[in-house]
Amino acid sequence: MNPWPAADAPRGPEHQRLLAVDAHDGSVFETRARQLPNLLCPGDLVVLNDAATLPASLRVRSPHDRDHELRIAIAGGPQGWWGVLMGEGDWRTPTEDRPAPDVLPIGARLTLPTGDHARIAAVSPLGSRLVQLDWGRPDAEVLALLYAHARPIQYSYTRRDLELSDVQTPFGVRPWAVEMPSASRPLDWATLGRLRSRGVELATLTHAAGLSATGDDALDARLPLPERYELPSSTVEAIGRARAGGGRVLAVGTTVVRALEGNAQTHDGQLVPGPGITDLVIAEGFRPQIVDGLLSGVHEPGTSHHQVVSAFAPAAAIEAADDAIARSGLLIHEFGDATLLLPRVASQRCIAA
């Protein structure tokens, strides 16, 4: 598969292509992302992640007076604040080529753009660059610091500095995500309206979408980290209605899959509303209990996101999809094209299973 990164941002839904994979018969076809409502049926349910994206890249200086980038990995809440330290440079240098950061002990102080300090409260056993932060201020003031002085996390395949507006979804409301829940990009307000008009129900949950890369191979292999979520009772009820009526549950993004399936695993296959933390990693052989289908980006084989996609269609269908992506030049990464994996999507008709 030859990856074609989407280097220019943002690309609106009107420009996105959509590769549809029928998880029932294994067929694959291409359409436009704006056609998603035509592929769903009355009684289906679409579950969205309503987390807003933080400006989560902050310039700091180490006690050795070296410039570092601090990428927020976990944005407060019950887990506290955790960040990944990167050496000198910025997003223009590939993450894996950045210099290593200083190895700092517990108690070391990082100088913030304001001139005051954050203290390293713990160092993760997963890797020395993953550190817990004591900001010496409440969460609300940390958020204010980030909005005043930080930038969105971005990677070297992009061509210009991203604005915070470039990495928001239309319905992001709670500042929990450190990277954009990018699977939602095809769903502008016009498309959401067409889904509702078609009789498709919409529901939300909040999941703290985490980092894609840290610059440390061993730490990258442990991603995603445990991440918090909150599952509303209204969403649990909507899933119950869809199930009872024979509708399909479509998760928009891997974060929604992790929240729903992680919650079900914790509660013996049942969904229980409320807050939680999921450490679920979806790997080969995983079989979802709650989610029938997935709307996601276009992912390269071998990546963790591709493993998630592979849980929603037979291996032959995934291979056909990978071949179609390579032939048609679909764009990867968060500003790229989209993939839909759902049973009975190829017929484009509403029929019984």
Q: 9: helix, coil or strand?
A: coil
User: pLDDT tens digits for 14-48?
Assistant: 789 999 998 888 888 999 999 999 999 999 999 99
> What is residue 71's predicted lDDT score, i.e. its pLDDT?
98
Q: Is the model's pLDDT at 2 over the cut of 90?
A: no
Percent of the chain with pLDDT over 90: 73
User: pLDDT tens digits for 104-130?
Assistant: 999 999 999 999 999 999 999 999 999
Q: Taking Cα atoms as reference points, which of 334, 314, 73 lies closest to residue 215?
A: 73
> What is residue 314's predicted lDDT score, i.e. its pLDDT?
79
**DSSP-assigned letters across all residues of 297-350:** E---TTSHHHHHHHTTS-HHHHHHHHHHHHHHT-EESTTS-EEEEETT-TT-S-
Distance CA 150, CA 319 (A): 40
Distance CA 296, CA 284 (A): 17
Please name the residues in contact with 138: beta carbons below 8 A apart, sequence gap of 6 or more: none
> What is residue 273's predicted lDDT score, i.e. its pLDDT?
98
Q: 59: helix, coil or strand?
A: strand
Are the C-beta atoms of 48 and 206 separated by less than 8 Å? no
Which is more confidently placed, 121 or 310? 121
Q: pLDDT class for 1, splitting at 50, 70, 90?
A: very low
Side-chain-facing half-sphere of 16: CA atoms under 13 Å: 33
Q: pLDDT class for 350, splitting at 50, 70, 90?
A: low
> What is residue 301's predicted lDDT score, i.e. its pLDDT?
65
User: pLDDT tens digits for 136-164?
Assistant: 999 999 999 999 999 999 999 888 899 99
Are the C-beta atoms of 210 and 179 separated by less than 8 Å? yes
Distance CA 251, CA 292 (A): 8
Q: pLDDT class for 352, splitting at 50, 70, 90?
A: very low
Which residue type occupies 203?
Answer: A
> What is residue 78's predicted lDDT score, i.e. its pLDDT?
95
Distance CA 274, CA 205 (A): 10
**DSSP-assigned letters across all residues of 67-128:** EEEEEEEEESGGG-EEEEEE-SS-TTS-GGGSPPPP---TT-EEEPTTS-EEEEEEE-TT-T
> What is residue 288's predicted lDDT score, i.e. its pLDDT?
93
Structure-token match 């506290």, residue found: 80
Q: pLDDT class for 311, splitting at 50, 70, 90?
A: confident
Peptide bond into 99 cis (omega under 30): no
Average confidence (pLDDT) over 211-218: 93
Mean pLDDT, the chain, whole residue set: 90
Side-chain-facing half-sphere of 38: CA atoms under 13 Å: 10
Q: Taking Cα atoms as reference points, which of 47, 8, 50, 12 lies closest to residue 32?
A: 12
CA angle 51, 153, 217 (to 5 degrees): 105
Q: Is the model's pLDDT at 168 over the cut of 80?
A: yes
